Amino acid sequence: MKYNQEYFKLSNGVAIPKIGLGTWLIDNTKVVEVIKDALLLGYIHIDTAQAYENEEGIGEALSTSNIDRKDIFITSKVRAEIKNYEDAKASIEESLKKLKTDYIDLMLIHCPQPWDEIGQSYRYEKENLQVWKAMVEAYNEGKLKAIGVSNFNINDLNNIIENSSVTPMVNQCACYPGNTPTDIIEFCKKNNIIFEAYSPIAHGRAKDDARVQKLAKKYEKSFAQICVKYVLSLDVVVLPKASSYVHLKENIDLDFEIEKEDLDFLR
């Protein structure tokens, strides 16, 4: 089996594969073989981040692949703790070096707040605009083919939209059965922002969801396949994480349809 990718078009015309490979918690050493297996199966969209600390391993795997760089879509993210122009600019250069590439297909602000301040009232609006400025510059220089954000709510998105000539092309957020941020998804669609769903399997917790279990049995599919198919039905990019060949293969073995009433059941 080799998966044939389908694509969305970002607002600037760049094609983004609908299914990508999440690499959170896959360390620098193990990620090399994971990426090699993924490429063999047909994955061409790899999602990483500075905070994952595996950009070097991904760069090594991609540099030794026989697949042309232009045929692989790489996403990375500026650390959530970086909230100023100079550090953001330096971090982009560091990511390019670690990934062994002249350009990154998509760069995101990882979170509007540093991770240890999630849920607090201060949203770092001015600081995020400084990070965005560095990203826009790198975009205009061709070092980034597209730019966006992650974990941004509607107010956070509006802060960028209203104060920059470049609107985020992507917003990446958690999305899985029982946790569908419909308001953010609809806002993104209205503003020509592609929504990306990370953790479609809820970090594995979805296997304990009775609704997912019921549909997995009905369709004779794994809980992961039900989750990924559900998220794809929302017309968004989905980024399932896997580290074993079996799970990598399973997450793209999606040649089945879930009935609408069952999709509604999972929301």
Please tell me the distance from the alpha carbon of residue 146 to that of residue 151, in angstroms, as a whole number.
17
Question: Is there a catalytic annotation at residue 52?
Answer: yes
Query: Which residue of the set 43, 52, 176, 230 is catalytic?
Result: 52
**Measured between alpha carbons, how far apart are the two ends of the chain, in Å?**
30
Environment class of 76 (CB within 10 Å of its CB; exposed 0-12, middle 13-18, buried 19+): buried
**Sign of the alpha-carbon torsion through 197, 97, 7, 36:** negative
At which residue do the structure tokens 């909230």 appear?
Answer: 83
**Cβ pair 173, 184 in contact under 8 A:** yes
Report DSSP letters for 54-81, one per residue.
-HHHHHHHHHT-SS-GGG-EEEEEE-TT
Q: Which residues are catalytic?
A: 52
